[in-house]
Structure 1
Amino acid sequence: KDFPSPSLEFLKKIKTTALTFDTVDLQWGIIFQIFLLIWDSPVENWTVKNLTFRGSVGKLTEYEYLFLLSFQEQPVHWGGSMKALTVEHVRNKVYYFDQAILYRQFSEMNIENLTIYDAYMPHMLCPNRTSSFQYLNFSHNALTDELFQNCVTLTDLKSLILQRNKFKSLSKVSFMTSHMKSLKYLDMSSNLLQHDGAEEHCQWADSLADLDLSFNQLTESVFECLPVNIKILDLQNNQIASVPKGIAELKSLRELNLASNRLTDLPGCSAFPALAALNIEGNSILTPSADFLQSCQRVGELQAGRNPFKCSCELRAFIRLEKQSGGKLSGWPEAYMCQYPEDLRGTQLKAFHLTELSCNTTLLLVTALLLTLVLVAVVAFL
C-alpha cells in the first residue's frame, strides 16, 4: 500500500529539528516516501539506525515502478532545512535493486554533513555540480580506490572519513583528494593501504593538515607520499621499520604517531623541524640512539613506553632525558621496563642504575692502572 502523505498544513506544524529513527524495516517504496516527507519538514539533523530495505522487483506495483523510474531519471536535489543526515547499519533485501539510483540521490543532496556507516556500500558517485558537502563519513563499507577519482565538485569538503573500507593504493588516495581544495582532515585508517615508492607518485590536497593512515600495510616508503603541509600524522599499526634519511622536509608537522610499528630506534627530527609530540610506543627499540636526543630538542611530549629496552650503559642518556626534562616521557615510569638482560626483566627504567665507573671504559682502565700501581708500590715497600 502507498504511504499516506500528510497535508501541507500538518507539515507546517512540525517544530522538530532533530529526528532519530531506529530499527526501520519496511518496503523500499515506503521508505523512499518517508525520506521525501522528511526533506519537506523543518528537520535539520536526521539519524536513521538499523535500516532494512525489503521488497522484490518482480512484485512492484505500477505506482512503485513509476516512482522508481522517476527517482532514477530525475534526481532530487535535496535541500530545505536539512543540514545533516546519518544512516547507520543498512541492510538491503531488495532483490535486483539498482543501487546506482541511491548513489545519485545521496551524491546530489544539498546538505553539509552526510554519514553512511556500515551499509556494504561499494561505491559513491561524484556530484554532478559543486557540492555543499563539508563532512562525509563513509566508514565500514566496501569502497575502493576508484572513489571520487577525477572528482572536481567537492571543493567545500573539509572532513572525509573512509575508515574500514577496501582501499589499497595510497597514491590513488592522494589523487582522490587533489581537487578537494578545502579538505583539512582525512581518515583512511583500517584499510589495506600500501605504497610502492619506486613506481607511484602522489598528489595531495594542499589544504590537508590532519591525516590518519593507521592500521594499514604501509612501510617506510610512505614517507615519500605525504602531504607537504601536514600537521598531524597518524601512522600507528603499520609495518614501518625506520624513518628514512633524506626524505622531503615536513616543515609543519607537529604530531607524529608511529606506535606499534617495527622501529628499532628513535627517529631523528631533521625532516620534522616543528615536531612537538612523538609516539613510538610498542616498537622494537632496545637502546635509543643519541641522534634523537640531539635533533629532537623541540619535542615536548614523547611516548616511548612498551618497548623492549636493553638496560645497559647506552640507555643512561635516555633515562637522563626524563630527569632533565621533568615529564617529557609520557607514561613514565610504569610503561618503561627493562626487557634485557634477563636478570633485569621487569625492572622499571627509573630503578635501573649503573655507576659512571662501570660505564666509562677509560675511567675504568685508569682506575685499574692506579690500583695496580698502588699495589705494586705497597709490595715494593714491604
Structure 2
Amino acid sequence: AEMQLLRVMSSSFAKKISLKQTLLTDATVPEIISILEDMPKLVEVEMIDCRLLGTGRWKIQIQANQSETVRVLTIEKLSIEEFYLFTDLQAVEGLLSLLTKVTVENTKVFLVPCSLSQHLRSLEYLDLSSNLLGDQSLEHSACQGAWPSLQTLNLSQNSLSDLEMTGKSLSHLRNLSLLDISQNNFGEIPDVCEWPKNLKYLNVSSTHIPKLTTCIPPTLEVLDVSANNLKEFGLQLPFLKELYLTKNQLKTLPGAAPIPNLVAMSVRRNKLNSFSREEFESFKKMELLDASDNNFICSCEFLSFIHHQAGIAQVLVGWPDRYVCDSPLAVRGAQVGAVHLSLMECHRSLVVSLICALVFVLILVLVAVGYKYHVVWYLRMTWAWLQAKRKPKRAPP
C-alpha cells in the first residue's frame, strides 16, 4: 500500500517525503529511491523509526539520472537487525554529491566508508549523534577528501575517548566551524591538540574532562564545557564571546582578562556563593550572565551590590526567581532581590561603637551639668536628710 501511494505521488510537486515506522527491505529500497528521483520538486527525505531487513546488497545499480533537487536527508532510529553485515553502500554514492544536510541519528552507525564521505562533496551539515563511532572509525570516516564543504558536525553521544585524536582526524576540514562532541568520554586531555583552523564553536560538555588545558583551540567564539566537574577556568581565549560552565564546581567567576570579548556566560548550578561589583564590572562587554541556581550567601556587601548596580536585572538570566539566598538562616529560601538586612546586621561594629560613644557622652554631660549646678551638694544634703528621717526618735526622759 505504501509503495502504491509513493507511485501515485511520483509526479507530484511535494517538497518533502516522510516515512515513519516503515518496513524496508533490500528489494523495496531501490524501488523507493527510483520513485523519489522522479519527483521534480522534492527537496527533503525523512525516515523516522523505520526497520530495514537486509544488508544493503541492492539488486540494481541506482543512478542519479533525474534527481537534481534532493538536498536534505534525515534518518532517525533506523533499526538494521544485521547492521554488522551492512555493506559500504557503493550503490548509492552517485546520489550523494548534491546533499547539503544529512542526519543519521541513533542508528548504530560505527563507520562511514571513506569513499562515501568523499562523495558528500556539497555537504555542509552532518549529524551522526547517538551512534557507535569510535576514535579509529572516525579517523577512517573523516579521511582525506571527505566532507570538503562541511561547516557543522555533530558527533555527540558516540564512543569517542581521545580528544587529541578526534581533533587531528578533523583538522583537514577547512570549512568546519561548529563541532559538537559532547557526551563522549574523553577524561584527561593533553596540553597540545590539532584542530580545524576555522573552528569557532566547540561543545565538550558531559565528557568527563577534569581540567581544561591549552588543547582547547584559541580560535573559539563559543565554548560549552558544562557538566565536567571543573573547579576553575583560566584559559586564554581572546575571541570568545559565549562561555557555558553550567553544572560544574566553580566557587568564583572566571577572570575577565583572558576572555576580554565575552558577551554571554552561564555559571548556573555551580558552587558560587557571591560575586562582587569588581568581578562583574571587569567583563566590559557582558550582556547576559546566568548565575542562577547557586547557593548565595546574602551578605551585606553582596546585597548592596545587587540592589545598587545599575542595569543588573537586565543582565542576569532568570532574575529574580532563580536567585535565592542560602544563608543567613533567617533569609534562607528568599529571593536575593527581596532581602534587605537591618542596619544592625550589616554594621554591627559601627552600631555598637556609636552606642558606646553616646553613653559616654551622656555620662560626661550629666557630670558637667551636676558640677555646674552643684548637684553633688544637693544630693549629699538630700541623702543626709533621708538618713536623719530614718533615725529612731529618742524616748522622753
Output the TM-score relative to the length of structure 1.
Answer: 0.80
2:180 corresponding residue in structure 1 = 187
Q: Within 5 Å, which residues of 2 pair with 1:80-159?
A: 80-94=68-82, 98-102=85-89, 105=92, 109-110=96-97, 111-126=99-114, 127-128=117-118, 131-149=121-139, 151-153=143-145, 154-159=147-152
- Mapped to 1, the partners of 2:78 and 2:58 lie a distance apart of 24
What are the Cα deviations for residues 318-337 of structure 1, in whole angstroms up to 9, with x where unaligned? 41465454522122111111
More deviation, 21-30/342-351:
21-30
Q: Is the 8 A contact 1:112 1:133 kept in 2?
A: yes
CA distance in 2, matches of 1:356, 1:78: 81
Gaps of 5+ in 2: 371-397
Counterpart CA distance in 2 for 1:206 and 1:371 is 71
Shift of 1:46: 0.8
Match of 2:354 among 342, 357, 367: 367
Measured in 1, the distance between the counterparts of 2:302 and 2:200 equals 35
* CA spacing shift, 1:291–1:152, aligned 2, 3 Å: farther
Q: Secondary structure at the match of 1:332?
A: coil
Mapped to 1, the partners of 2:273 and 2:301 lie a distance apart of 10
339 and 140 in structure 1: CA distance in 2 versus 1, 3 angstrom threshold: same
**8 Å Cα contact 1:171/1:200 also seen in 2:** no
How far does residue 158 in structure 1 lie from its aligned partner after superposition?
0.8
Deviation at 1:117, TM superposition (A): 1.2
| Shift in alpha-carbon separation, 1:35–1:312, aligned structure 2, 3 A | same
Q: Does 1:49 align with 2:39?
A: no
* 8 Å CA contact 1:108, 1:131 repeated in 2: no
Q: Is the 8 A contact 2:20 2:47 kept in 1?
A: yes
Give the superposition deviation at 1:289: 4.5
In the superposition, relative to structure 1, how do residues 131 and 112 fare at CA in structure 2: closer, same or farther (>3 Å)? same
**Deviation at residue 182 of structure 1 after TM alignment:** 0.8
Distance across 2 between alignment mates of 1:17 and 1:311: 57
**Alpha-carbon distance in structure 2 between the residues aligned to 1:13 and 1:304:** 55
8 Å Cα contact 2:125-2:152 kept in structure 1: yes
Q: Does 1:18 align with 2:16?
A: yes
**Mapped pair 1:240 → 2:240:** no
The answer to whether structure 1 residue 224 and structure 2 residue 214 are counterparts is yes
Indicate if the aligned counterparts of 2:138 and 2:166 stay in contact, CA closer than 8 A: no
Write out aligned runs for 1:298-309 (5 A).
Answer: 298-309=285-296
Alpha-carbon distance in structure 2 between the residues aligned to 1:291 and 1:37: 66
Partner of 1:60: none
**How big is the alpha-carbon RMSD for the aligned residues of Structure 1 and Structure 2?**
3.5
Note the C-alpha offset of 1:299. Answer: 0.9
Q: CA deviation at 1:106?
A: 6.3
Shift of residue 306, structure 1, vs aligned partner: 0.8
Larger radius of gyration: 2
Partner secondary structure for residue 49 of structure 2: strand
Partner of 2:325: 338
* Cα contact 2:39–2:67 (8 A) shared by 1: no
Distance in 1 separating the partners of 2:94 and 2:214: 33
Distance 1:288 1:103, change over 3 A: farther
Contact 1:77 1:108 in 2 (8 A): no
Give the residue type in structure 2 aligned to 1:194. Answer: G
Give distance in 1, aligned partners of 2:65 and 2:217: 34
Which amino acid in the other structure matches residue 123 of structure 2?
F
Give the residue type in structure 2 aligned to 1:142.
L
Letter in 1 for 2:192: H
Partners of 1:78 and 1:170 lie apart in 2 by 42
Q: Secondary structure at the match of 1:183?
A: coil
Corresponding residue SS for 2:209: coil
The answer as to whether partners of 2:127 and 2:155 remain within 8 angstroms in 1 is yes
Query: What one-letter code is carried by the residue in structure 1 that aligns with 2:143?
Result: C
SS at match of 1:146: helix
The amino acid that maps onto 2:182 is: S
Query: 1:343 Cα deviation (Å)?
Result: 2.5
Q: Alignment partner for residue 203 of structure 2, among 201, 207, 212? A: 212
Distance 1:147 1:133, change over 3 A: farther
Secondary structure, aligned partner of 1:343: helix
8 Å Cα contact 1:218-1:239 kept in structure 2: yes
TM-score by length of 2: 0.78
SS of aligned partner of 2:59? helix
Q: Does the C-alpha gap of structure 1 residues 35 and 323 become closer, same or farther in structure 2, counting only changes over 3 Å?
A: same
Answer whether contact 2:177 2:199 (CA < 8 A) is retained.
Answer: yes
Partner Cα distance (1:227, 1:361) in 2: 50
In percent, how many aligned pairs have the same letter? 24
Q: Distance in 1 between matches of 2:273 and 2:304?
A: 13
Q: 1:219 to 1:41 in 2, by over 3 A?
A: same
The yes-or-no answer on 1:264 pairing with 2:251 is yes
After superposition, give the CA deviation of every residue in 1:89-122 in whole Å (9 maximum; x if it has no partner): 111124x863242388569821211111110111
Deviation digits for residues 19-54 of structure 1, max 9, x if unmatched?
A: 111222132332244235434643321111222122
Distance 1:326 1:12, change over 3 A: closer
* 2:262 aligned to which of 267, 271, 275: 275
Asked if structure 2 preserves the Cα contact closer than 8 Å seen for 1:107 and 1:124, the reply is no
Cα-to-partner distance string for 1:112-136 (whole Å, 9 max, x where unaligned) = 1111111011122333467221110
CA distance in 1, matches of 2:58, 2:283: 66
Distance in 2, matches of 1:259 and 1:318, equals: 23
CA contact (8 A) 1:236 1:260 kept: yes
Structure 1, unmatched stretches of 5+, are 58-63
Instruction: Report if aligned partners of 2:177, 2:200 keep a CA contact under 8 Å in 1.
Output: yes
